[in-house]
Amino acid sequence: MKIVLSVICLFVGLSTIDIANGASVQLKKQGSKVNVSIDGKPFATYNTGGDLPKPFFSPVRAADGTIITRSVVDPEDHPHHKGIWVAVDEVNTVDFWAEKGKIRNKGVKIIKASGNPAVMRVSNQWLGADGKPIVTENTIISIYANRLMTYNITFVAGAKPVVFEDTKEGLFGVRLPNGMREKENGTVENNKGVKGTKDNWGKPTPWIDYYGPLNKKVYGVTLMDSPQNYKKSRYHVRNYGLFTISPFGDHAYTNKKLPVDAKHLKAGDKLNLKYGIYIHSGNTQQGKVAAAYQQFLNVTKKKVAQKKPVKQQPKPKKVAAAPKKPVAPPKKVAAAPYEEKSNAIQPVPATEAAANNDCNYCPEQKRRRLFRRFRSRR
């Protein structure tokens, strides 16, 4: 009975976060920007200008239009915390986190301009001091009507090996505005109900939700890890509004208790990572974060290629064998007349003496007979 109730609750939760309510997401290119709207209302803007140190989403809005990312204009601290972005410290010693290395956008392709989700693919080159890409980031961003965004990131190493050093500064993050921050009235809570940045910082967990008040209403942002990643990621979540997730930093996040675990790629090698970010109204329970995480797992799971069924060839019909012709009995062949075989008589050699006393073999008697015949004829 408990299992049945759990399934029902999950179904109800999924149905209430606008997965299939007919809402639609639209993507539209405008110069170096991609504007995202949901049912015609602005949601977010992806910025790719060549004058920017890296591409990023800003501003990003909740369902009622409230902006839930800190302004990139005149920030009070950490100017490299721009909206929603992808960057990390120390890639082949280049500090992309602090924007000391440039991440240059090479293109945005709209895969699905309208729907639920709408989908685009971005290609960003992380440049070295020589202006050549150390690594290329190819990311497929899917945006759902309930404000779930999934990032399917594939890093491709350039002509040389790549090292992602062990660091806490990275990788996929958001900077929240004042008011939502924990040091004001914000709250940080993970999937097990553990609260506070102190108990969640640097810990691996499926998701963490960060929510707080803006204009007397509560809004939240959730970061989600994928079990498909090569290892569990950890969270760089701070009370001043910084909120990121990264797999590169076991040593840094555990205060050096775990060994350094840099990630190495050979030239041309690839590394795939999947993350989710969910913008919602209300606290963790009101925003149905658990259901949104389940949605994230469902839409990012690997699709198993189904083998096409092999058409079985129809079995050939059995054809009745032709009746065998009766075999004619062998003809009787008349036996040849019997011939008696006699042994050949061997002649007696002239030099051999006669073996009997027959007078015919006597030469003297033979001459006498001949003489008598001759006299009688005369």
Q: Dihedral, CA atoms, 48, 52, 55, 57, nearest 10 degrees?
A: -90
Mean pLDDT value of segment 336-353: 45
What's the confidence (pLDDT) of residue 313? 65
What is the pLDDT confidence band of residue 302, given thresholds at 50, 70 and 90? confident
Task: List the CATH code of the domain at 10-300.
Answer: 2.70.98
pTM summary value:
0.77
What is the pLDDT confidence band of residue 133, given thresholds at 50, 70 and 90? very high
CA distances from 247 to 41, 72, 255, 274 (A): 35, 26, 15, 11
Q: Tens digit of pLDDT for each residue in 356-367?
A: 444 444 444 444
Residue 283 CB: number of other CB atoms within 10 A? 16
The candidate with the shortest Cα–Cα distance to 128, out of 162, 167, 175, is: 162
Q: Tens digit of pLDDT for each residue in 208-245?
A: 999 999 999 999 999 999 999 999 999 999 999 999 99
What is the pLDDT confidence band of residue 79, given thresholds at 50, 70 and 90? very high
Mean pLDDT value of segment 90-113: 97
Model confidence at 63: pLDDT above 80? yes
Mean pLDDT value of segment 41-60: 98
| Amino acid, res. 377 | R
- Arithmetic mean of pLDDT over the chain: 85
| Amino acid, res. 189 | E
What's the confidence (pLDDT) of residue 219? 98
What span, in angstroms and rounded, lies between the C-alpha atoms of 328 and 318? Answer: 29
Mean pLDDT value of segment 32-36: 98
- The two tokens of residue 241 are 């509004």
Do residues 122 and 55 lie in contact, with contact meaning Cβ atoms separated by under 8 Å?
A: yes
What is the pLDDT confidence band of residue 303, given thresholds at 50, 70 and 90? confident
